[in-house]
Structure 1
């Protein structure tokens, strides 16, 4: 009952705050709508909120989105404007635009529309997200009043991609950009992870896989979930997805008319379809200020912010204004201040989003767009998720050495082993009894998030999961930078497999619950997931050209986990888990090699033995260019 009344109180204050902000927008901003023509004649629906105070000029802050610029009704206003309320009250001209083929804009929607390198503003045939942004800015500068000639842009998730996509061939007036939780490459982010498909994203496909017949203010995909919902049993995501069977079921009877699902299903490899949609390959000649933002526990887009920042840095060495911010957030949580910052069961502190908004985001835009005092922000503003505090770095990843984790008998994990272990570790992997990715039974969701800090004890007890842990640490151990898993593997009875590697913080057995720990959770002995990644083994040599394993033959499987900044405290342990199914977060690899897993039959799902040799390691820190150790793709 106490929790019920607390929920009502929180809901009341949240509603009251939203209402106050909406009143603030109405009282201080004028709303105007436009249909802005692009170079090919397509018109994009654009909403402009201009300050009522016209005694001064303002910078333009723009967000382009596929998720609607609602409210569309005349006299209706957004509840808040801009990246955060502090900027709304500071005073900017805020611009929101529906991208091509979405909501009230004309044209055809294209998921991660390919970039056209060197796009000329005079070319009316080749359009991309950068050219649409360019044309929009050009129109705004000519038609809006009371602007100071400077433009900034921001966006979270898909709007973060649109922000990143406008970095190359940018309009000269675009002086500050903040891609936040941006998609960098669709084969490694969001719907895929290192070649594996996220089956847990099935609910998301209707949003992206259907075209509108004409501009509309109403959702056109609401009924596209029906065939998924009709299957029933959605309160248990694991059982629900097992009952679907092979992914061919989705193609045949759930999403037969979903063009995005069919794009994914017919392009199982990293072919030209995916490569040309990777914006990270086009981030050249970026000469304005860029602040990329992400969350260490962002289940949707962790690859994107890290790799967009790194690519801008590497491709534009003379740009002094490229920085990255990574906090203890789930997807987009930096834009919301809830008081306490929780990810699943773990509390990371209070008012962390508010600190970011006031001390990082607002000063960044104020300096570059308004000419306010230089906040002297660091190259990398990063949150240590173990110490639970902010740290600043002059470069990312930091160059502070490498730590190697090695595997030895009896489940022992050794820090910087002096010699290579000759041991071998094996488990039987059965795709018909996959390892669950959650410690609790959870319903089907739009996209999963909470698992990113979940307790891994449910997995460490399974015979198909290899578990290694260090002795109790007698001093703090900080792991920072890039992570590379280097596995030496042998397959028996199968010729394909996935590999999941998880880095885990094991709490002391006498750990006490915190003030915000959920009642049903005990932190004593909690095995908190810190970082994990999955890798589809068929891509070990080339993401574009998969190949079967040779049964009984030792092969190398090297792949990166995403970056980390985490201090394992004195009294804790470091744990590594290795296994080959992780369901239904990723789809099931049949383990019998088939050309296209989306076309696999039930009889293809095969049980086999996987051997991990003791020569395998996990390296954290300086890896002499981790991208050079990734499987190379050659078209």
Structure 2
């Protein structure tokens, strides 16, 4: 009996593959399911996936994922350098198709797979699989970075490795990416590798203080605290932002200041958060990191297409500012392109038929990828006989048409302008008032700030959050408040077409010694829209931004406001390209809080708002001098 049993054990054991034997326990009484190293059978896949650690010049190795079409021969390379997990961005497959793998963030299967590109995604230093230390928007080599490496050198070293180790490539590389990955696409333009033939920064982070992720004209974007927490607390985003409040409005109101809220979450352990607290003004720490300012001393040598979204809720400053910086280097730069579409942040890589309730009557994202991006990449990376798109291609909202131009209009409008004049009794006109004067007043109370979306305000990234589309949310909730000054035109009898960056000239008084000014340009729909009834009376924000009053004269050197003395507040709003149609009205809203998108201004001058005590937050009365207030734009086609 014992001999028979021994034979059965031997037969049972030999019936299993070798890996099962290795995965069993010592006495072979249990066979485990999971092998030590599982190998995916990729025979039917149409691509090869490689993971490599590419060495940088200082010895640090960066984790890099390479997807090579099995049919690749003499193929160009499309590179993205990211802090958002290269593995995750290249592991979305539900099949063995490369197009299926490329369904993740920052990928465009219809461009990359159909274009036959070798796809390369790399974790930047200190994130996910890469060695080294992570620094948010690591400064370029210079006063803030005395090491021998930055994002430009890491890109150079990566390209050098790729062109010498990928036999299937033609030795031409393009770099592309959205947001932070757009920022690394810009850093690649500093002392670029000879094999870098094209760069496509999409919705790039360019200047975090002037108008991208962290501040806008000095007002801190409080809703970005969760991003900083998730991104900077650990290498693999292990720690996630937490809150005991369902409504962020209540969370930030109870927390008093952004500094206090961050510290309550333990963020004083994070280097970037400590730097933000230490540099509330636009000092040299911010200025020497701003990509547009840095590139003013450079020369564009790589064909570059900047991509901008008209309703970018995160980085609506960077692409346009960088565009104008390069344009100043030459009247018509032959290496610079710009694509502008009716998207939110990164919306150009998705279906662009709608944004919130707004319909564009075509897939604008697909149009961009097929007719603008794909031929641009192919011309420089594959075949120079492929025609290039126009240097500026922009979607015109309102009429919902694509337009082309050799360049954007100049930032300041001198001739052929449209000026919207504030009028007494909350009116708005296209003609300057004749002797009409008046003051429109409201009370701004920090205890009851104006929400940027209806409450509850749900944390960005959480289920049911309005973050991705908040810029197109209906503004009627704001216009009905007594602490929002509203100026509205008569019903238009003919179209008013505008383009460029609206220039705000606001004259106002306050009873406080500091204060914020939010200015919003709005398209008011007719009371009835037959083909989309839910849009009846809709107030669509076309362009808007905020200015912290202490910076009205200098962004670097804040100054208290003299109470009850008229002051001039000037700023440029984000780019617009829009037609107010007949039957619509034009509206301008002015308010002094936009919460909790931006931290509350105490309205009492303190040295650092991040550490403002509760007693500093006081109500003030704001007076808008209508005769001294207007908004100027270029007249559109």
TM bucket, shorter chain: 0.7 to 0.9
What is the correspondence of 1:16-415 to structure 2 with a 5 Å cutoff? Answer: 27-54=45-72, 56-71=73-88, 79-81=100-102, 82-116=107-141, 125-187=147-209, 188-212=211-235, 219-222=236-239, 224-225=240-241, 228-229=242-243, 232-234=244-246, 236-254=247-265, 255-283=267-295, 284-317=298-331, 319-337=333-351, 341-397=353-409, 401-415=416-430
RMSD of aligned C-alpha atoms?
A: 2.7
Distance 2:425 2:310 in 1: 31
Distance 2:417 2:89 in 1: 53
Change (3 A) 1:478 1:369: same
Deviations 1:485-525 (A, max 9, x none): 11112121x100000000000111122352xx7xxxx3221
Change (3 A) 1:542 1:158: same
Aligned to 1:548: 560
Deviations 1:342-387 (A, max 9, x none): 2222222332211111111111100111015332311211111111
Q: Is the 8 A contact 1:439 1:454 kept in 2?
A: no
Aligned to 1:620: 633
Change (3 A) 1:378 1:580: same
Change (3 A) 1:276 1:83: farther
Distance 1:160 1:72 in 2: 15
Say if 2:502 is the partner of 1:456: no
SS in 2 for 1:390: strand
- CA displacement at 1:158 relative to structure 2: 0.7
SS in 2 for 1:567: strand
Distance 2:286 2:584 in 1: 41
- CA displacement at 1:95 relative to structure 2: 1.1
Q: Is the 8 A contact 1:428 1:607 kept in 2?
A: yes
- CA displacement at 1:243 relative to structure 2: 2.3
- CA displacement at 1:545 relative to structure 2: 0.8
Q: Is the 8 A contact 2:425 2:440 kept in 1?
A: no
Distance 1:80 1:304 in 2: 30
TM-score under structure 1 length normalisation: 0.86
SS in 1 for 2:167: coil
Say if 2:530 is the partner of 1:507: no
Structure 2: give runs of 5+ residues left out of the alignment: 1-39
- CA displacement at 1:589 relative to structure 2: 0.2
Distance 2:273 2:108 in 1: 32
- CA displacement at 1:124 relative to structure 2: 10
Q: Is the 8 A contact 1:285 1:316 kept in 2?
A: no
Distance 1:388 1:270 in 2: 38
Change (3 A) 1:190 1:513: farther
SS in 2 for 1:449: helix
- CA displacement at 1:66 relative to structure 2: 0.5
What is the correspondence of 1:420-431 to structure 2 with a 5 Å cutoff? Answer: 421-431=436-446
Aligned to 1:626: none
SS in 2 for 1:325: strand
Range with greater deviation from structure 2 (473-482 or 340-349): 340-349
Q: Is the 8 A contact 2:502 2:576 kept in 1?
A: yes
- CA displacement at 1:25 relative to structure 2: 12
Range with greater deviation from structure 2 (69-78 or 262-271): 69-78
SS in 1 for 2:492: coil
Range with greater deviation from structure 2 (265-274 or 572-581): 265-274
- CA displacement at 1:318 relative to structure 2: 6.5
- CA displacement at 1:23 relative to structure 2: 12
Distance 1:420 1:130 in 2: 57
SS in 2 for 1:94: strand
Change (3 A) 1:331 1:322: same
Distance 1:391 1:196 in 2: 34
Change (3 A) 1:531 1:196: same
Aligned to 2:33: none
Range with greater deviation from structure 2 (386-395 or 529-538): 386-395
Change (3 A) 1:586 1:38: same
Range with greater deviation from structure 2 (31-40 or 464-473): 31-40
Aligned to 1:484: 503
Q: Is the 8 A contact 2:92 2:101 kept in 1?
A: no
Change (3 A) 1:287 1:248: closer
Q: Is the 8 A contact 2:371 2:389 kept in 1?
A: no
SS in 2 for 1:34: strand
Q: Is the 8 A contact 2:375 2:388 kept in 1?
A: no
SS in 2 for 1:413: strand
- CA displacement at 1:71 relative to structure 2: 4.5
Aligned to 1:630: none
